[in-house]
Amino acid sequence: MSDANIAAIETPARPITGKTVVKETLARIAIDYYWLFTGISLSLIVYYTHYCHMNYPLTCETKWPAPIEISFYPMFIIVGGLTKSFLFKRVPGVFSRLRETGALDERAAQQLAEDFTRRLNHPVGTIMGIACGLGVYWFYWLRWPDLGNMRLDLALAWTTLVAIDILLGYAAGVAAWKALVTGWEFRQLGQKRALKIRPFFPDGCAGLGAIGRLFLFLSLILVAVGVYLSGWLLVFYGTSGRSDHGAQVFASVFAGSLIGIVLLSIGAFAVPLLSIHRFMEEDTAVYEAQGHALARRIADLEETLLASGADTDHKELAARLAQIESLRGTYLHQRTIPTWPIDFVTLGKFAGAQGALLISTVMSLLDMWKKIEGVYG
């Protein structure tokens, strides 16, 4: 083997970090300081609404933002924090963990890291970010005030508010692209068999438990949005449409969005793991064949021991029995090789999170069905 090849093998894979996951400068700043931008945006919308109402009551009918408008901001803080953790910690951490367990060797990790970061930072991600930013601009354009006839401070507050929200929308689009790429990447790892199972690794997931936890975390980001939508839907349904929180305006949108969010959160967790599951099943079959050979050896040893037991001295008999017990323990352990990269704790957290959305989802479906019956019935 040449020195170059030896060096390539011995050189550790370049680690994936938060900076390599999010190379887009604006998106990285917005995600890293999401709390600051969210706080400024909240302050600006309160300032603008209050003083606009005081000076231009025909333009701004309310003295303060509606409760439903204010409620968006705590949700932004929670989702922003989860997104930052997912991109800057969870995604880099899963590859480090797979190398530590031996499920991903260094040579494969080096090429994988390069390909993965290239796809993460593909121009399509920037395009998605721009599209989301334009969507935010369109939302504000529908309610754009006559800034030319306003006080300078209110005009600046409005334009700064819009600019910050466009930036956050851009960052959300970029983050969505990276989440899609991450799911696709691990699906490909399963299909290409770029990983290997570690049957006796103590995580109960054949050394691949980090993958299950990664996509549980991704699912929880969507669940957080779903809990927010559920809360407002329960307020709306609980007041039979008499709520003054502004939820009536958003009820139909929230109901449809909640159903979509639930489906997305299930898909974000299950779809990448199905490919890993199939790969684990195939590798487990190899170990099962080895297990059958081990079972035959145990049977042969026991038959030999039974046939010659009377002529075997005490020490030799004890040694053979110890060998058989050791082999039997290995065989029993090998019979329970995991075929999913999730343990009961991860599965329980996922089921619990989805259960929290079940009531509102059912109510949303029933409400939508009633509306359809009202139109076509």
Q: What is the DSSP string of 287-304?
A: HHHHHHHHHHHHHHHHHH
Q: In 10 A of CB 132, how many CB atoms?
A: 21
Q: How far apart are CA 309 and CA 139, in angstroms?
A: 86
Is 232's pLDDT higher than 70? Answer: yes
Encoded amino acid at 162, one letter: V
Strands (DSSP E) contained in 197-317 are: none
The full length of the chain comes to 377
Give the model's pLDDT for residue 374: 61
Is 5's pLDDT higher than 80? Answer: no
Confidence at 111, pLDDT banded by 50, 70, 90? confident
Give the model's pLDDT for residue 217: 95
Of 6, 222, 15, the C-alpha closest to 98 is 15
DSSP percent split of the chain into helix, strand, coil, nearest 5? 80, 0, 20
Q: Phi-psi region for residue 54, left (φ > 0), alpha (ψ -120 to 50) or beta?
A: alpha
Average pLDDT over the chain, rounded to an integer: 81
Against a cut of 0.85, is the pTM above it? no
Identify the residue with better confidence: 68 or 94: 94
Is 207's pLDDT higher than 70? Answer: yes
Confidence at 4, pLDDT banded by 50, 70, 90? very low
Q: What percent of the chain has pLDDT over 90?
A: 32
Give the model's pLDDT for residue 3: 45
Is 215's pLDDT higher than 90? Answer: yes
Give the model's pLDDT for residue 121: 92
Helix (H, G, I), strand (E, B) or coil at 194: coil
